[in-house]
Structures are given as C-alpha cells and as structure tokens.
C-alpha cells in the first residue's frame, strides 16, 4: 500500500512538519508502513493559475504523479486563522477530483495552542468530502506541538505516542479495507 503524508506548512521555523515526520516514522516502526512525506515547502509550488496541464511546471507534474499513484493520503496542516494552510489548499487544487476520488484520506491538524487546530481539521474534513474521497472519522488534532515533538520529528512527550498509534490504527483499518475492495 502506497501512502502519502502531505505536509502543508511552508513557513520558516515551523514545528508542524516535525509532527508529520514523527507520524511517518511511527508508521514505519510500529506498523511496517513506509509512508512518503511530501514537504510542500520543498516543492515550492507556484500560486494556482491553472490546473494541471501539459505546460505545468515539473514540480506540479511530479506531485500529481505521486498523488495519482497513492493508495491513501494523509493531509497535515497547522491551523491558520481558523482553517488549514493556503499552501495545502493550493496543492490540492492543482489536481482534478479523480486524483483523490475514492481514496482514504486522513486529517492531521497541528497547533501550538491547546485546541490542536480543530477548526483546521474540520475544514480539511469538508475538503476531503468535496474531493469525493473517504475521510476517516477520527481526526488527529495535535495541541501544544512544541511539547510533543521537535522540528526534526524527535518525540518529546512519550504519551503522545499512544495518540498517534490510535490514529494510525484507525486510518490503516479504513485504508486497507478500501484498497482490498478496489482489488476485487
């Protein structure tokens, strides 16, 4: 199963990317799943002026190919002004709904505050539905991220591990069910 973690923070001094790195590492260590982290900061996508087409920049084409080939996607974003990052929305909108349709998509919101970016998570859940994909009912909301992991994905709070494992288990249950159904 090919899974993608789409890291939606492009800011300098970001902490949310460390949480994404930790989740990918935990997926590999605990669940033997090699999820690829796509760092939108590294992709440096241009502002959307046209959806994917033959003249699109190579980084847009490359990301489109990766997302097309993915069996499942995890969207991760810090909360900015009550929603998810514009970089993540920009990346999503480059590609047609067929890129996402009938794929399991998990939502991870990240915040330095106590609420874990719940409004960003809710906005991403609505986005997943608009893409005609399958959202997992459990959203991963990470509060006080600076106390959970560092910017490199090193665990700071051992109790955070359990919350991550529960989310991964629930996501994998849905993803495996969908992938198995598509094979039939």
Sketch out the chain's domains with CATH numbers: 3-183 (3.40.50.360)
Question: Given this model, what pLDDT does residue 54 score?
Answer: 82
Predicted structure pTM score:
0.96
Question: Given this model, what pLDDT does residue 51 score?
Answer: 84
Q: How confident is the model at residue 8 (pLDDT cuts 50, 70, 90)?
A: very high
Q: What is the pLDDT of residues 21-70, one digit of tens each?
A: 999 999 999 999 999 999 999 999 989 888 888 888 999 999 999 999 99
Distances (CA, A) of 79 to 16, 67, 155: 10, 23, 21
Residue 85, Cα to own-chain centre: how many angstroms? Answer: 11
- How many Cα neighbours within 13 Å face the side chain of 180? 6
Q: What is the pLDDT of residues 162-182, one digit of tens each?
A: 999 999 999 999 999 999 998
Question: Given this model, what pLDDT does residue 53 score?
Answer: 83
């Amino acid at each position: 199963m090919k899974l993608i973690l789409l890291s939606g923070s492009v800011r300098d001094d970001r902490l949310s990317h460390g949480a994404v790195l930790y989740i990918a590492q935990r997926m590999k260590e605990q669940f033997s799943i090699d999820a690829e982290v796509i760092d939108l900061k590294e992709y440096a996508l241009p502002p959307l002026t046209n959806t994917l087409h033959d003249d699109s920049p190579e980084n847009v084409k490359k990301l489109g190919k990766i997302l097309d080939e993915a069996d499942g996607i995890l969207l991760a974003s810090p909360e900015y002004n009550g929603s998810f990052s514009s970089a993540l929305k920009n990346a999503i909108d480059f590609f047609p709904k067929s890129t996402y349709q009938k794929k399991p998509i998990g939502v991870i919101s990240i915040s330095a505050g106590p609420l874990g970016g719940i409004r960003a998570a809710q906005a991403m859940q609505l986005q997943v539905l608009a893409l005609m994909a399958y959202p997992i009912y459990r959203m991963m909301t990470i509060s006080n991220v600076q106390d959970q992991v560092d910017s490199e994905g090193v665990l700071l709070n051992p109790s955070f591990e359990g919350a991550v494992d529960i989310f991964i288990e629930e996501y994998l249950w849905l993803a495996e069910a969908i992938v198995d159904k598509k094979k039939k």
